[in-house]
Amino acid sequence: MYKQLGIACAALALFACSEKESAQTTQPQAKAPVTENALSQYKTQAKALLANIREQKPASELEKESANLVATSRSVLSDFVTKYPQCKDYLDALDKAADLIPSLPLEEIESGYHEDGKLPKYSDPVCYHAKDLLVHPATVQAIAKLGFTENAQYQDAELEIVEVIAHFDQVERALN
């Protein structure tokens, strides 16, 4: 609990410092702090969501948290496309489906978005890691919409976020 509070405080401090700096800087280089904020925010939200899944918080709370993580992922993906334009078509198609994905049956999310059945081909493996920053929390959102009636559903949600944190590490390295 204290560790999560410390992470949240650190993220807020970084956000506050970056906001002040961004307001003073009008050069195009202000883009870098935005990326750092989106990345930092994503990491903090993902870890908090994972902790709350492990604590088996109510489905409504986990649905809201995972939706917030999806929203943050869209900011990260936007920044990602700036650095990796070869991912644009792939990630734009995903972004267009972002609001729809959590309402789909879990099997359709798996085949259409985890396995890329509904997405265009990508030319660089780094695109795949970025895609998962949205798909995994959207899957948790879909699971939460169905409700957590069994322990296995919490375990499935936990595995989704553990996996997205691994993909996040790849994306973070690619952006830094």
Q: Is residue 20 part of a domain?
A: no
The C-alpha atoms of residue 41 and residue 116 are separated, in whole angstroms, by: 26
138 in any annotated domain: yes
Residue count of the chain, please give it: 176
Q: Which two tokens stand for residue 171?
A: 């994306």
The CA radius of gyration of the chain, in Å to the nearest whole number, is 16
CA angle 115, 116, 121 (to 5 degrees): 135
- Is 128 within a domain? yes
Q: What's residue 15's pLDDT? A: 31
Mean pLDDT per 10-residue segment, the chain (176 residues): 37 32 32 63 96 96 97 95 95 95 95 94 91 97 94 96 95 91
List CB contacts of 29: < 8 A, sequence separation 6 or more.
none
- On whether residue 15 sits in a domain, the answer given is no
DSSP state of 149: -
Structural tokens at position 134: 């949205």
Does 28 reside within a domain?
no
Residue 143 lies in domain = 35-175
Closest Cα partner for 139 from 42, 45, 70, 68? 70
What pLDDT score does 176 carry? Answer: 86
**What are the structure tokens assigned to 101, written together?**
């994905």
Tell me the two tokens of residue 86.
């070869």
The pair of structure tokens assigned to 58 is 């109510």
Q: Is residue 114 part of a domain?
A: yes
CA dihedral of 143, 147, 149, 150, whole degrees rounded to 10: 20
Find the angle CA(156)-CA(57)-CA(154) to the nearest 5 degrees: 10
Q: What is the pLDDT of residue 36?
A: 59
Task: Give the number of domains in the chain.
Answer: 1
Question: Which two tokens mark 48?
Answer: 């908090």
Residue 123 corresponds to which amino acid?
Answer: S
